């Protein structure tokens, strides 16, 4: 069996690896480190959680131990798709570079440009960056890449998903042609294959597992969920998640819960905390300091459940994650491989459970087609519970509240009653008034006044209580 001592690493690196508690390299490490130390380009393809970070960190530290960095001209460059992954690479570098006089700089968003500029001005041996922030520094004239001897692209398929491929191609063009390139990915999309054919020279290809395969040590399952009421679907789905967590009992020491949308990440975390679970959200809208604080809390065990978007799905090395819960079926089949790769790392066992609604069934079929296996269907834990009793039929009229709006009907009939009261025989106009009414209406003049002369006593709204002065004025005008 191959050991780290057989890989021709420097004594200081071997000592650091031993201090970290590692003795035997993983297959990707055993395959990638020797050609990397020879100066060859490397194309490494392995599923997540197999130790790809150490596959390029260890040989880089060994090769960079000779030489000295110059201001604004890093000697090596590591590109990572997310801030968290870049920070993780920096942490690995610190652990394995103990005793080596190598400097590093971390260029990620959410951190002051000024502080990063100070590090670059001093000269760094290892520059770890996300593509966007790296290009920002370059365009500001604070950075030159003509001194890069070793260039590493980590999680290349994630770079493709996030739209970084044009940036990667530009960065490649800014580095020397004679550089050494180490390229790592969990899957091999056609676009990534095109880039490797363009920028890698006769690479040593190490493929330790079929692309897009899941670890055999990960127990998988999916619960098919259908809600009868769309308004309650979200809350019922969160209740199902809690039931699945409770169903794992003591086996669920901690877990990462993945959602497709940031708004659902916050909603699930809030719901879990409301029901007594120790959970925190993490997604791209949070401040970088808060994201790192949450990740550290999950690593050291002060946070039990991490509710995350896909920002935390790729490359993060969080040891001892017992469970991964896919609250949503990922829209891209490759994301499923990376999500569940957060558990079952370094040969340990893990569990990955998922909730699938009817609208997600097509995405589930794509996942099963990609991994080449049918994910076992699990029984809905809520289905075994007694369903609520159906509502009793509402036969009794007394159970229905009376509608008060109909009670205003008599008021609507009030004008009719007034009309009948006005048209009583006692108040009918005199015969001469009936004869004169048509003539008065044909005289012209004010139509409103003529209309009132036709029936002087029929005043709507006054009834029997018309003031005398009004009646008198009508009599005076009629006699004139």
SS3 of 422-438: the string is HCCHHHCCCHHHHHHHH
pLDDT score at 477: 52
- Listed range (3-7, 189-193, 254-258, 439-443) with the worst mean pLDDT: 439-443
Query: What is the β-pairing status of strands 305-308 and 255-258?
Result: parallel
CA distances from 388 to 59, 71, 236, 382, 383 (A): 62, 71, 14, 12, 11
Structural element, H or E, at residue 77: strand 76-79
Q: Which residues pair with 76 in a beta bridge?
A: 126, 150
pLDDT score at 460: 56
- Listed range (108-122, 137-151, 216-230, 450-464) with the worst mean pLDDT: 450-464
d(CA 230, CA 14): 58
pLDDT score at 50: 76
Average pLDDT over residues 41-53: 84
pLDDT score at 320: 87
Q: How confident is the model at residue 212 (pLDDT cuts 50, 70, 90)?
A: low
CATH of domain 4-207: 3.40.50.300
Q: Which residues pair with 73 in a beta bridge?
A: 70
User: Is the pLDDT higher at 315 or at 150?
Assistant: 150
Q: How confident is the model at residue 417 (pLDDT cuts 50, 70, 90)?
A: very low
115 pLDDT more than 60:
yes
d(CA 407, CA 402): 10
Q: Let me know if the fold of 4-207 is the same as that of 218-378.
A: yes
pLDDT tens column, 264-291: 999 999 999 999 999 999 987 888 788 8
d(CA 50, CA 318): 12
pLDDT score at 305: 96
58 pLDDT more than 80:
yes
Share of the chain above pLDDT 70, in %: 76
Residue 30, both tokens: 């055993």
305: number of Cβ within 10 Å:
24
pLDDT averaged over every residue in the chain: 82
Residues 6+ apart with CB under 8 A from 164: 81, 131, 132
User: Is the pLDDT higher at 447 or at 95?
Assistant: 95
| Model-wide pTM > 0.85 | no
pLDDT score at 46: 82
Domain residue spans of the chain: 4-207, 218-378, 443-480
CATH 3.60.21.10 fits 218-378, yes or no: no
Residue 377, both tokens: 């269907």
pLDDT score at 83: 87
425 pLDDT more than 80:
no
User: Is the pLDDT higher at 145 or at 230?
Assistant: 145
pLDDT tens column, 287-299: 878 888 998 899 8
């Amino acid at each position: 069996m191959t050991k780290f001592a057989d890989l021709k690493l420097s004594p200081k690196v071997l000592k650091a690896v031993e201090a970290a508690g590692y003795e035997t390299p993983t297959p990707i490490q055993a395959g990638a480190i020797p050609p990397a130390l020879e100066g060859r380009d490397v194309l490494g393809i392995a599923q997540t959680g197999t130790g790809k970070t150490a596959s390029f960190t260890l040989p880089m530290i060994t090769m960079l131990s000779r030489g000295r960095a110059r201001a604004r001209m890093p000697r090596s460059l590591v590109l990572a798709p997310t801030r968290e992954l870049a920070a993780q690479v920096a942490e690995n570098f610190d652990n394995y570079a103990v005793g080596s006089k190598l400097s590093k700089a971390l260029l990620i968003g959410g951190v002051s440009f000024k502080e990063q500029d100070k590090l670059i001005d001093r000269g760094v041996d290892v520059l770890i960056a996300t593509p966007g922030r790296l290009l920002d520094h370059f365009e500001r004239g604070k950075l030159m890449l003509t001194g890069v001897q070793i260039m590493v692209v980590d999680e290349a398929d994630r770079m493709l998903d996030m739209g970084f491929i044009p940036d990667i191609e530009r960065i490649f063009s800014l580095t020397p042609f004679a550089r050494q390139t180490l390229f790592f990915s969990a899957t091999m999309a056609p676009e990534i294959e095109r880039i490797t054919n363009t920028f890698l020279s006769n690479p040593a290809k190490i493929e330790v597992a079929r692309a897009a395969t899941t670890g055999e040590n990960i127990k998988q399952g999916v619960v098919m969920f259908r809600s009868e009421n769309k308004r309650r679907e979200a809350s019922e789905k969160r209740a199902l998640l809690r039931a699945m967590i409770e169903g794992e009992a003591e086996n669920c020491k901690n877990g990462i819960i993945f959602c497709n949308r940031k708004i659902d990440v916050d909603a699930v975390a809030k719901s879990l905390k409301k029901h007594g679970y120790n959970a925190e959200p993490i997604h791209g809208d949070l401040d970088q300091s808060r994201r790192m604080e949450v990740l550290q809390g999950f690593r050291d065990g002060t946070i039990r459940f991490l509710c995350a978007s896909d920002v935390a799905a790729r490359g993060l090395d969080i040891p001892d994650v017992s469970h991964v819960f896919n609250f949503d079926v990922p829209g891209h089949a490759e994301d499923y491989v990376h999500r569940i790769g957060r558990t079952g790392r370094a040969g340990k066992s893990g569990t990955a459970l998922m909730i699938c609604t009817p609208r997600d069934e097509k995405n589930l079929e794509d996942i099963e087609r990609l991994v080449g296996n049918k994910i076992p269907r699990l029984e809905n834990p809520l289905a075994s519970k007694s369903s609520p009793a159906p509502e009793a039929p509402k036969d009794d009229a007394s159970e229905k509240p009376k509608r008060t709006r109909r009670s205003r009907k008599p008021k609507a009939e009030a004008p009719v009653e007034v009309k009948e009261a006005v048209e009583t025989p006692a108040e009918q106009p005199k015969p001469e008034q009936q004869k004169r009414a048509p003539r008065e209406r044909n005289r012209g003049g004010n139509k409103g006044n003529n209309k009132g002369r036709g029936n002087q006593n029929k005043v709507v709204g006054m009834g029997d209580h018309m003031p005398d002065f009004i009646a008198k004025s009508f009599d005076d005008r009629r006699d004139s």
